Amino acid sequence: MNNCIFCKIAAKQIPAATVYEDEDLLVFKDINPAAPVHLLIIPKLHLDTLSAAQEEHAGLLGKMLALAPRIADEYGCAPVANADGELSGGYKTLINTGPDGGQEVYHLHMHVIGGPKPWRGQR
């Protein structure tokens, strides 16, 4: 019996605020957001950690990374330049791995964190 909370979200056994879904990936809002925009990109396939990913998962990892800027853009987080070329906006993409990496949920996920500051712990 798989007791993984993100597998249960992917299987729609427990609810989440889903913002994107395709055959391989699901994106939903973090339940305890660290910033105005805090989304989690997960593969539907269960992998405990980034370190559990193998060469055969390279395409899946690539899809996760390629989706992040599209989702960030949809949520108004894309970096933009003004007429003077000064950048504003932007976001973080983050994968915590293992205890020392601060991982709490052992189903691979990528955080997409952005929006107007201040955020938790950020100026």
CA distance 16 to 19: 9
Q: Which does 107 bind (CB under 5 to 8 A by kind): ligand 5GP, Zn ion, none?
A: Zn ion
| Stretch of residues binding ligand 5GP (CB under 6 A), selected from 55-63, 65-73, 81-89, 103-111 | 103-111
Is 104 a residue that touches ligand 5GP (CB under 6 A)? yes
Among 7, 24, 30, 36, the residue binding ligand 5GP under the rule CB under 6 A is 30
73-109 core/surface letters (b: 16 or more CB in 10 A; e: else): eebebeeeeeeeeeeeeebbbebbeeeeeebeeebbb
Q: Which of residues 42-101 bind ligand 5GP (CB under 6 A)?
A: 96
Q: Which does 7 bind (CB under 5 to 8 A by kind): Zn ion, ligand 5GP, none?
A: Zn ion
CA distance 67 to 87: 22
